[in-house]
Amino acid sequence: MARGDQLDTYRSKRDFGRTGEPSGDGGQERPRRSKPRFVVQKHDASRLHYDFRLEVDGVMKSWAVPKGPSLDPSVKRLAVPTEDHPLDYRTFEGTIPAGEYGGGTVLVWDAGTYRNTTEKKGEAVPMGDAIDHGHVSFELSGKKLTGRFALTRFRREGQDGRGAKAAWLLVKEDDDRARPGSDVVADQPDSVKTGRSLDDVAAGRRPSRRSPRRPAS
């Protein structure tokens, strides 16, 4: 499928003369088949939320997670699908001007690579198919999030006949990286890319020298 088609919705929502977000035009990074990337962006928009994005077939498939991910397998986090984002969005950190779509501050809360572990009857299911079917499991290798997670759709768009949005749950699977009782979004609030807090990014403070950690790429 042409990348342009997949990003039409993304582009239609934004004025690239006003926002510093990537347009995904040209210069688009090449997709990676063997070690696809993920990112979680903390986004202080009209309401604080976390944008969870997985590299799938040349775009970042995206869900907005109001409360953010958890490492506690007993915690189920609502995840609402949003439009596909360009691959280079994964490193975007900065401020979207007030009045623009998604206006507010964005930081790279976690980043790394993932491995698709979705199976059906013992057979591996490609990511795109798994998302279409409404269930995907994957193993994250990030700085804050590691181990197996699952995203599962529990409501399709419009399923209630009143135009409800599609809704999924993001859950940590119970493996040796699970941390019952922990609160990773509260304990580790800052950017893995620059070490900055939301306030730092909003104020345009430059990254400190001591925290130049870049996400795995």
Q: Which residues bind Mn ion (CB under 5 A)?
A: 43, 51
CA 57 – CA 40 distance, rounded (Å): 18
Closest-CB residue for Mn ion?
Answer: 43
Residues whose CB is less than 8 angstroms from the CB of residue 141 and which lie 6 or more positions away in sequence, other chains included: 112, 113, 114, 115, 216
Shortest spacing between CB 98 and Mn ion, in angstroms: 15
Residue among 102, 97, 99 at smallest CA distance from 204: 97
CB of 10 to Mn ion, least distance (A): 12
Q: Closest CB to Mn ion among 45 and 178?
A: 45
How many CB atoms are closer than 10 A to CB 145?
Answer: 23
| CB nearer Mn ion, residue 43 or residue 172 | 43
Nearer to Mn ion, 81 or 117 (CB): 81
Q: How far is the CB of 217 from Mn ion (least distance, A)?
A: 21
Between β-strands 48-56 and 146-155, what pairing exists: parallel, antiparallel or unpaired? unpaired
- For Mn ion, the closer of residues 72 and 110 by Cβ is 110
195 phi-psi bin (left φ>0, alpha ψ -120 to 50, beta other): left
